[in-house]
Amino acid sequence: MLGRIIKESAGFYYVIPGASSPDKEIYLCRARGIFRKKSERPSVGDIVDFSLTGTKDVEGSVDSIRERKNLLFRPPVANVDRVLIVFSGSDPAPNLLLLDRLLVSMKRKGILAAICINKSDITEDPVLLELKETYEGASYPVFITSAKENEGREALLSFMKGALTALVGPSGVGKSSIMNMLTQTDLAKTGEVAKKTGQGKQTTRTSEIYVIEDVENTYVMDTPGFSAFDISDLDEKELFHYFPEIERESGGCFFRGCVHMEEPEDKCAVKAALSKGLIKESRYNNYRTIFSDLRSKRSYR
């Protein structure tokens, strides 16, 4: 049978049949020993071939892993189609440097990213407008939501439809509430699945996939630890390629190899665009900060 791994816990893999509806069975599986011999292991998000064993404690076995489109680490997840980066408009205020680092990381991995600004019910409209203009001007889809008021779900689903979307972002921004809004549940199925191994909800959290019941072939993945994505191996001279609005303007620079840092404004098209408001100051400042961090780390290698 063909299926997708939606959760891993203590060596057990929870598999849903391919193209299944959310009310169908979740199978508790073990991986075959051949994976250990190959020094491989299945990951959440993997498309796998599995077979049923008919035993009481373990219902099936993961037999093989289909070719992955990607494999992301910390935590290990596979076949992510899109990423929804969640920040709050206030309480806490958005950490735009972290947001820009995450956007750089996603662009490097070739994964389509969108931004969800949550807590619109307690955020002033000018703040929301500025964030929306800044990141839409950088070519990213931006969604304004209030999970508390159940607002913004349809817009998010238009981005997520037919794909596996990883939900990422720092703590305190309402990710759990966004997850509940998307799935239209309180994630009670997590507890139901855990009953199969006798483990309660207090076990160590890992990446987990949930099915969006009312949208065909649409999944959302809860991903603890994704904010730790590292970009320290990036050459700082290539950084501008990962800021779309900076890359867009860089073709007009006088100097070949311009990095848009200390070059004079009349020779740097990026700085000229900044002065005209075509590039937002917050984005450019974060570009400079990340550039300097990358250069400093490289000098210590």
pLDDT of residue 19: 54
**Model confidence, pTM:** 0.87
Contact 268, 298 (CB under 8 A): no
The contacts of residue 129 (CB under 8 Å, 6+ apart) are none
pLDDT tens column, 258-297: 999 999 999 999 999 999 999 999 999 999 999 999 999 8
pLDDT per residue over 76-89, tens digit each?
889 999 999 999 99
**Hey, what CATH topology would domain 77-228 get?**
Rossmann fold (3.40.50)
Q: Give the tens place of pLDDT for each residue, 179-190.
A: 999 999 886 343
Whether residue 20 has pLDDT greater than 50: no
- Backbone phi, then psi, for 165, in 5-degree steps? -110, 130
Q: Residue 163 above 90 pLDDT? A: yes
For residue 151, pLDDT over 60 is answered with: yes
* Conformation bin of residue 28: beta by default, left when phi > 0, alpha when psi is -120 to 50: beta
Where is 84: in which H helix or E strand? strand 82-88
First to last CA, the chain: 48
For the stretch 232-254, pLDDT in tens is: 899 999 999 999 999 999 999 99
Q: Where in the chain is the domain with CATH 1.10.40.50?
A: 236-299
Neighbouring CB atoms inside 10 A of 93's CB total: 11
Delimit the CATH 2.40.50.140 region(s) of the chain.
2-67
Q: What is the mean pLDDT of the chain?
A: 88
Domain with CATH 3.40.50.300 in the chain: 77-228
Mean pLDDT of 196-212: 59
Residue 157 sits at the vertex; the CA angle it makes with 92 and 167, to the nearest 5 degrees, is: 45
What is the topology classification, in CATH, of domain 236-299?
Ribonucleotide Reductase Protein R1; domain 1 (1.10.40)
Query: Which residues are within 8 A (CB) of 262 and not within 5 positions of it... i.e. 6 or more apart?
Result: none
8-state DSSP, 289: H
Domain formed by 2-67, architecture? Beta Barrel (2.40)
The answer on pLDDT for 196 being more than 60 is no
